[in-house]
Structure 1
Amino acid sequence: MSTPPSPPGAEWTDGAPVRIGALVPLTRPGWVGAGQHLLAGLELAVREVNDAGGIAGRPLELVVRDTAADPRKAAAAVDELARMGVAALAGEYHSVVARAAAARADAIGLPFLCSSAVLDALTEQPTEWVARLAPAQSHGWPIYADFLLGAGHSRIAVAAEPSVYWASGARVLRDHLAPRGGTVIELDMRALTPAAVCDELVGNRATALLLLVGHPEPAVSIVKSVRRDQRLAEIMIGAPAGQPEFAEWARSLGEDSAAIPFLRYLPERLSPLGARVETALRERLAESPSFVAFEGYDTVAVLAEVLRSSGADPARIAESWPRVAVEGTRGRIQFSRTPGISVWQWDWAPIHVADRDPAEPGRFRVLHTS
């Protein structure tokens, strides 16, 4: 005779907090600015959940672990958080790190809602344990390629560092551009100085340069070199991965930070909820919130709804991904199985291509919408 499962919340009798493990890059070589924004969104949403009564009367608690852009550190953090009894995992910005965390979460059976990483193959095989909010690279980066073509760019150089993420991005761009008459010229940043990049751009007659490299270096040095080379006065610099979104970019480059288009996972106009959250995030961060901060907020909003409806049992949480329907800051969030994607995927977050306005680098311009 089988015993029916207890109703959600029945196992919560002691008033102890419901814990969510948060994976966030907060030290170098991780992108600290992105990690701070992600954490701000996570923390704001947790505070609002608790102000509204928590989860079945129990407070929601965030247990934060710094991944520092290190896949091994992230995998170890997953094991540690599992031993602590967290109900689920949230967060991570760096795709390669998120992949390591997702693989470990899948192996041990711990639900993981990935906030911001876009690499298509978060896990090698389809998994029930992992879901993702950010649009997959194979969906977002072709939108950027369409923007390039629409702006008249067909000879596109990519300055790339060795990484699964950068290699995947270059492949997506090449596959989308080639049938449409575009050419991708790859520049290996292991072998080139920023000055040598300029020579390569001239020699290859490139009209656009995409930065598939880390920040601050070598991205900052490349931008400065190109901007100061009179031979390249007309070339467009782009950063599809979103580096110009963060205030750190503007502080590093000043006026040179403007007119560098990037992918931004926000609607053109925020909903009333999005606008309210934007105001609260701005106060928390003391600067304009990035799309990554909104991703953090939406992550907790989804997990809180799942915990209310399914309880803290990991298997129940994983089973709930296809039933989720939550109004997030950037639209209604629901998960489905998307061809070629191994995890439960929100398909899709809103996307546009934006840049910093040269007339006012603190302001963003929308250049292209999906």
Structure 2
Amino acid sequence: MRAIPRTFSRTFLRCSLPLAACVAATSSWSAEVIKIGEINSYKAQPAFLEPYRKGMELAVEQVNQAGGIAGKKLELVIRDDNASPGDAVRAAEELYTREKIDVLTGSFLSHVGLALTDYAKQKQRFFLASETLTDKVVWAEGNPYTFRLRASTYMQVAMLVPEAAKLQKKRWAIVYPNYEYGQSAAATFKKLMKERQPDIEFVAEQAPPLGKVDAGSVVQALADSKPDAIFNVLFAADLGKFVREGNTRGLFKGREVVGLLTAEPEYLDPLKKEAPVGWTATGYPWYSIKTPEHEAFLKAYQARFKDYPRLGTIVGYNAIRSIAAGLRKTGGSADTDRLVAAFKGLEVETPFGRITYRAQDHQSTMGAYIGKTAYDQKLGRGVLVNYHYADGKDYQPSDEEVKKLRPASAQ
């Protein structure tokens, strides 16, 4: 390969994420950069992760344009994990041994995130789990080296439960993807709803394999149970199939639905006119958030990409912002012990406001927007209305509960 002059530097070589992997590299000398290795399920979950990648790009560019970290530029090296825990671990090792990365981040699917969490523990390397929602990352399988950015499964379900309880519905049905995230969401919803509403009944559960929902049979089984309300945990293509089939068969008519992740633009926008109306859901109303920090982010993102952000964009952007904030505290050092110490109690300014990484369980306080789904005729797609921002710090277990949930070795 022809040598690139040292004076020439750019943050990304754009690529289309081929089957083997996608590598983003710069021409800067390694001594002048801090390499961030990022592993994710780009091929398996493109709706979320393509906007996520753009969010990372914007954050890296902003950090570098502001002078970098202690005079060093940030550089991303990206790998696809093929939605496989084994491939994710192999990619992590290759990033360290061949690419000489300094910091590791990433993961979307819960089982992949858990594999990388264990890798961080075994190798004693810092890992920021950016998107994966499983509670185990910071609790049952938490370790001193792993931190998590996005609000966990427990936190997001806890945000929805007060709204679900207000509905005063007794007979509930639940549908969720049959892997760790879905199982955990269903279990948490049942537990927290029982605490608020002891006479509640769960009359049906449907747990199709992730990405392989037989929407017709799932919808029919739920309808046969005659629930008063439905708790939906399906997302991505599974959500689309479920909504379309449910609309066709009248499953949602006269029934309340509470949806985890349902109103995220990645999943709601593709439904267009078929978007559900009146569901209580978590989402991201980028089109109407008027806080100064979000408006500044939105302006920069639209100027850079000529597109609107999705929830994945926020997660990718916040992941890089978090790593940059941690590196500033260490004076630019990516030493594991120093970075771990820096992240305990770390405060980060984000488009959702300031978040903090809790020292007691390494979970950030990033929250989520909760509201009702509606159809916007002008936009031609579903939106989130009557929403409020649920601050993550208000939906986490107490310190005493965390001590019981988290292994002693991770304290």
2:116 matches 1:101 = yes
SS of 2:236 mapped into structure 1:
coil
Q: 1:272 aligns with which of 258, 269, 292?
A: 292
Q: 1:256 aligns with which of 267, 271, 274?
A: 274
Where relative contact order (Cα < 8 A, 6+ residues apart) is larger, the structure is 1
How far apart are the structure 2 equivalents of 1:197 and 1:236?
Answer: 17
How far apart are the structure 2 equivalents of 1:62 and 1:204?
Answer: 49
How far apart are the structure 1 equivalents of 2:334 and 2:252?
Answer: 57
The count of corresponding residues between Structure 1 and Structure 2 is 348
Structure 2 spans left out of the alignment, 5+ residues? 1-28, 391-411
Q: 1:80 aligns with which of 94, 97, 101?
A: 94
How far apart are the structure 2 equivalents of 1:276 and 1:353?
Answer: 22
Deviations 1:128-179 (A, max 9, x none): 2111121222222022122222234332212233211111110001101123
CA contact (8 A) 2:64 2:73 kept: yes
Aligned counterpart, 1:25:
41
SS of 1:220 mapped into structure 2:
helix
Aligned counterpart, 1:52:
66
CA contact (8 A) 1:270 1:329 kept: no
Deviations 1:208-246 (A, max 9, x none): 3333335313x3222112112246522244430x14413
How far apart are the structure 2 equivalents of 1:205 and 1:87?
Answer: 54
**So what's the TM-score if we normalise by structure 1?**
0.84
Shift in Å at residue 21 of structure 1?
0.8
Aligned counterpart, 1:325:
347
Aligned counterpart, 1:6:
none
Shift in Å at residue 34 of structure 1?
0.8
2:307 matches 1:292 = no
Q: In 2 relative to 1, CA 57–155 (structure 1 residues): closer, same or farther, beyond 3 Å?
A: same
Shift in Å at residue 126 of structure 1?
3.8
How far apart are the structure 1 equivalents of 2:321 and 2:273?
Answer: 37
SS of 2:344 mapped into structure 1:
helix
CA contact (8 A) 1:177 1:183 kept: no
Aligned counterpart, 1:37:
51
Where do 1:111-260 residues align within 5 Å? Answer: 111-122=126-137, 124-179=140-195, 180=197, 181-184=199-202, 185-189=204-208, 193-213=214-234, 215-217=236-238, 219-230=239-250, 232-240=252-260, 242-247=261-266, 249-251=268-270, 253-259=271-277, 260=279
Q: In 2 relative to 1, CA 326–226 (structure 1 residues): closer, same or farther, beyond 3 Å?
A: closer
SS of 1:326 mapped into structure 2:
strand
SS of 1:118 mapped into structure 2:
coil
Shift in Å at residue 188 of structure 1?
3.7
Cα RMSD for the two superposed structures = 2.7
Question: Which AA in structure 2 matches 1:32?
Answer: P
CA contact (8 A) 1:21 1:62 kept: yes
Structure 1 vs Structure 2: percent identity of aligned residues? 21
Q: In 2 relative to 1, CA 195–299 (structure 1 residues): closer, same or farther, beyond 3 Å?
A: closer
How far apart are the structure 2 equivalents of 1:169 and 1:328?
Answer: 26
Shift in Å at residue 82 of structure 1?
1.8
CA contact (8 A) 1:263 1:354 kept: yes
SS of 2:143 mapped into structure 1:
coil
